[in-house]
Each structure stands twice: as structure tokens, then as C-alpha cells.
Amino acid sequence: MQGIWAENFHEIIEALRNNADLLQSVKNLIETREITGKSLEGGNRLCVFKDILTNLVDGNIGLEESYMMVETKISRYSSIHGSNNRVFPESWGERLIRTNLSKFYNQAVLLYILESGKDNCYIPHSKYEQGSQCSYMAGKTHNAKEMLQKIEQAYEKGIFSKEFKIPDHPHCTHVVMPVE
């Protein structure tokens, strides 16, 4: 795969525009992989969310529009968990989009790294970092297979731990890159 790699969350969409193989990988992951979260349980909520996420990565809608679409098309009030403020915190649509866009992008990059026969990934510092655990782990190389396993364990199986992963939290701006 040739192209530009994002150096932070805010560059993910641009990186996808400039790397057709990476975009296709992200779309395949959205279509085939699990997405955990009580806000997506019931009816066709998960399917609608995946459609919104696919439209975002395809460039049909922007980030802000995707946040609003999530909160209206799969509204809190149509959920079986609608009364739960932990499932639906303030700005829940943004948190859901940001977490999953980052998850699928980073997962696609890690798969690319591993399929290329490489063992390590690099996490660049983000100009948006704010002293979280991920900020302390940035600027270093990490084992790509372990990073991929942590993403899949948390965001596909719903088994969360305090182990470092990217994304590490809903507003994480860090990404993984191939080691040049």
C-alpha cells in the first residue's frame, strides 16, 4: 500500500482519500467486524451506524454531520437503554463515531503492517495530545500484533482493560503508522 498515513485522528479522513487500498480495508472492516456498545443494541441500530460510518469514510458526509446523524437516526430515545446516562453520555454520537473511526483506521494500518511482514508500528506524538496514557506511549515503536489484539479484545469483544491501546479513549487523537 502506498500513500499518506495519518499522524493524528484529524488526518484520518485525508489519509483515506489518498490511499485507496487503506480505504477499502477500512470499509471491509466496518462491514465484517463487530462493533460493541449498548447504544447499538436492538433493531437495526448497528446496521444504520455502519452505514453512517461508511458514508463518512467514503467522504459523503463530514465528521460533524456524522455525529448529528448518529444522534438522530439511532436516537437515544429509540434505544432499549435510552434512560441510561452511562450508555448515552453527553456527545455520545461524537464519542461513538470517533472511537470507531479510529479503531477501524488503526486496525487497517496494523493489518497492513503485519501482512507486510513487519513486527512493529510507530505511534507519533499528536499535536492534540493532552497528557493521557496514550500521550506517554507516543513517540515510540510498539509490537503491531499486540496492539491489534488489544484493539480487537476491547472494541470487538467488549473486554476492556487498562492496557494501552489505540484508540485508548473516545477522544484519543493518536494513530499507529508503519515504521519507516
Quick check: 10 pLDDT over 80?
yes
Residue 40 clears pLDDT 50, i.e. is over it: yes
Average pLDDT over every residue of 154-180:
89
Closest CA to 96 of 61, 133, 68: 68
Backbone angles phi, psi at 121, to 5 degrees: -125, 165
Phi and psi, residue 69, nearest 5°:
-65, -40
pLDDT score at 133: 72
- pLDDT recorded at residue 131: 66
Q: Answer yes or no: is pLDDT of 99 > 50.
A: yes
Calculate mean pLDDT across residues 6-19.
Answer: 95
Q: H helices within 10-163, ranges in order?
A: 12-17, 20-32, 45-57, 63-73, 92-115, 133-137, 144-155
Residue 147 has pLDDT above 60, yes or no: yes
pLDDT at residue 2, rounded to an integer = 44
pLDDT band of residue 160 (cuts 50, 70, 90) is confident
pLDDT value of residue 51: 98
- Of the listed ranges 25-34, 44-53, 112-121, 122-131, the one predicted with least confidence: 122-131
pLDDT tens, position by position, 60-76: 999 999 999 999 999 99
What is the pTM for the complete model shown? 0.94
User: How far from the centroid of its chain's Cα atoms is residue 47's Cα?
Assistant: 17
